[in-house]
Amino acid sequence: MQTNSLAGQRLNARKGVVAFMPVRASVSRSSRVRVLANAAAAAAASGTSVPKNSILVVGATGTLGRQIVRRALDDGYDVRCLVRPRPNPADFLRDWGAKVVNGDLTDPSSIPACLVGVNTVIDCATARPEESTRKVDWEGKVALIQSAQAMGIQRYVFFSIFDCDKHPQVPLMNIKSCTEKFLEASGLDYTTFRLCGFHQAVIGNYAVPILEERSVWGTNDETRTAYLDSQDVAKMTMAALRGDKTIRKTLPLSGPKAWTTKEVIELCEKMADTNAKVTTVPTWLLKRTRGVLRSMQWAADAADRLAFAEVLSNNEVWQASAADMAETYRLLDMDPGSVTGLETYLQEYFSRILKKLKEVGASADRTNFYV
């Protein structure tokens, strides 16, 4: 089994510089994960061969994960979903035809058994706001990759963040960049997709509040984001698995046009035929708030997330170059015109919602705008 120089290490943030530092406890946990994975692999080896169409989706209940599950099922894959034990089980995944296996990235010992009989891992999980980014997105992902090594997983798809390697001062982006490097050194046949943003986030952040006549939050910057529909990303993921052109490649995924927050709000106002209540948050306030939160141990994760918000407010363009996206589409054997632009997506959304409002005669505050 291939060893990795990054194994048993963790991230350490100090004075704005994040570095790898060895930690004995992490090495011990890494060793236990490898032992469990090797034992599971040995047990699995005595059984039947692993079918090539068997997939494990990690993060299957999320915005992207659920779309990948549906697309993979439609394409004839045998889909398993790694879901943490919870009071309210993810029954909708079973209803669609997927199998659900219990596991938790914060409990590395639970991972190896979930990989038995799996050919491909699609990793689209990330920490929720109430969770530790370090435990889920670093320690959990290291354990998942090591288990995949030991279990002989044939393909591994990982979702990262656009330009994450250019912002080491942002904990989440630095962790994504380090995970990319860890995966590259693992020996696995990986494909990494770097995402910019989803259309679905625009619905929750702007469209719904505008329809409900609530305030929407914006910043006084010119940052542009090239959003993609999560359904299109799922389609691209399946395209990557149909051949070997994307193996050991890191590819950007961005939409056809980049939008500022102001432009997105204006687009939603136009389609909803109403004026938005906009609350502008100055970039300097984000930085000052992060500074205060970093001084409080209990608020460290919140400060890390604000660091990501700062990057999103630095007048950058979150969009891959035309040449880079052309190469992505070439490797995926996809037509660039097959993806849905943000304007078209919002037109369909608002048409559907406004039609429903007219049919039921409901007021904005009594309607589920996420349908």
Q: Which tokens in the block code for residue 220?
A: 């006084």
Distance CA 107, CA 139 (A): 9
CB 258 within 8 A of CB 223: no
Per-residue pLDDT at 87: 72
Global pTM value: 0.82
End-to-end CA distance of the chain: 48
CA distance 300 to 171: 10
User: What pLDDT is stored for residue 34 in this prediction?
Assistant: 55
pLDDT (0 to 100) of residue 282: 66
pLDDT at 284: 55
pLDDT < 50: residue spans in the chain:
1-28, 43, 290-306, 363-371
| Amino acid present at 32 | R
Chain centroid offset of residue 104 CA:
16
Rounded to an integer, what distance in angstroms lies between the CA atom of residue 56 and that of residue 60?
9
What pLDDT is recorded for position 18? 41
DSSP state letter for 8: T
Residue 307, number of CB atoms within 10 A of its CB: 22
Supply angle C-alpha 300, 305, 309, rounded to 5.
Answer: 140
In the three-class reduction of DSSP (H, G, I as helix; E, B as strand; rest coil), residue 249 is classed as strand
Q: How far apart are CA 191 and CA 184, in angstroms?
A: 9
